[in-house]
């Protein structure tokens, strides 16, 4: 017999008040579908088949039993768990309550609770998480905010947040990130910039940025890159300034 089977917790059905109900009906099975053991899988299976009992366990001493019961209990009974001591329980509540009711979790100490809030809260409250200490929370905000409300994140301390801003910022405003400290951000905005604005990055220290710029700016701007230290950049410049010569070389 495998170790996984040997270690499956089994409750004493003689002590179970459901033995004359769910057990006889096949709606609970020892070592498989059971609410009395400390096994998340068995507890979840029990409530999946018997959701009507979930309310009885919303104040259970075992945190996982409370959390799983909260997934199946009617929403009207969940408010009592808003201040639950366990963060997993609060995550479930933040996920299940209607968006207008989850502002109470804006300052929750658990980042995943706040991430859930950031993903579900109404737009009118969304920016209240804009200064959250966790970058994942701010990243979620940046993904959801209307494009015109992204400017406050242009200087965010986290690279991932700024990269997402660079992906969503209006094209006409990309120049505001031309001096970003990260080449990854500047590469992103170089790809999205109009040829006219891309000139701002023509002497960027990152060769990939210069290469991208060389592909799109007007040919009259390319003389700056004619002697670029990067061969690929010089090749693009030569191809664009002398397309006829390049074509003849290819034919040869």
| Degrees, nearest 5: CA angle 135-126-170 | 75
Check if the beta carbon of residue 173 is closer than 8 Å to that of residue 152. no
Residue 59: in which H helix or E strand, if any? none
* pLDDT tens per residue across span 48-78: 999 999 999 999 999 999 999 999 999 999 9
Instruction: State the Cα–Cα distance between residues 62 and 60, nearest whole angstrom.
Output: 5
- Report, as an integer, the average pLDDT of 115-142: 96
- Report, as an integer, the average pLDDT of 8-15: 74
Determine the pLDDT at residue 9: 74
Closest to 237 (Cα-Cα) out of 247, 248, 224, 252: 224
Instruction: State the Cα–Cα distance between residues 96 and 92, nearest whole angstrom.
Output: 6
CA atoms lying within 13 Å on the CB side of residue 43: 20
Task: Please tell me the pTM assigned to this model.
Answer: 0.83
Closest to 124 (Cα-Cα) out of 143, 149, 107, 105: 149
Determine the pLDDT at residue 1: 33
Instruction: Indicate if the pLDDT at residue 46 is higher than 70.
Output: yes
Query: To the nearest 5 percent, what fractions of the chain are helix, strand and coil?
Result: 65, 0, 35
* pLDDT tens per residue across span 205-244: 999 999 999 999 999 999 999 999 999 999 999 999 988 7
Instruction: Indicate if the pLDDT at residue 6 is higher than 70.
Output: no
Q: Which residues contact 24 (CB under 8 A, 6 or more apart)?
A: none
Specify the higher pLDDT residue, 189 or 252.
Answer: 189
Q: Which two tokens stand for residue 47?
A: 């409530």
């Amino acid at each position: 017999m495998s170790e996984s089977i040997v270690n499956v917790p089994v409750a004493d059905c003689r002590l179970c008040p459901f033995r004359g109900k769910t057990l006889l009906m096949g709606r609970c099975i020892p070592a498989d579908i059971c609410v009395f053991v400390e096994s998340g899988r068995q507890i979840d299976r029990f409530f999946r088949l018997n959701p009507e009992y979930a309310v009885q366990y919303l104040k259970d001493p075992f945190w996982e039993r409370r959390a799983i019961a909260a997934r199946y209990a009617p929403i009207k009974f969940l408010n009592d768990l808003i201040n639950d001591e366990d963060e997993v329980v609060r995550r479930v509540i933040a996920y299940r309550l209607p968006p207008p009711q989850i502002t109470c979790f804006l300052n929750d100490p658990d980042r995943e609770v706040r991430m859930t809030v950031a993903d579900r809260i109404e737009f009118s409250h969304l920016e209240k998480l804009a200064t959250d200490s966790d970058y994942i929370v701010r990243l979620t905000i940046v993904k959801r905010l209307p494009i015109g409300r992204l400017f406050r994140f242009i200087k965010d301390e986290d690279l991932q947040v700024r990269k997402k801003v660079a992906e969503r910022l209006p094209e006409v405003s990309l120049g505001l990130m031309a001096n970003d400290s990260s080449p990854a951000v500047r590469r992103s905005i170089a790809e999205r910039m109009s040829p006219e604005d891309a000139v701002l990055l023509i002497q960027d220290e990152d060769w990939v940025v210069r290469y991208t710029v060389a592909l799109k700016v007007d040919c009259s701007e390319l003389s700056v890159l004619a002697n670029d230290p990067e061969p690929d950049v010089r090749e693009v410049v030569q191809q664009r300034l002398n397309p006829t010569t390049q074509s003849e070389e290819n034919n040869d």
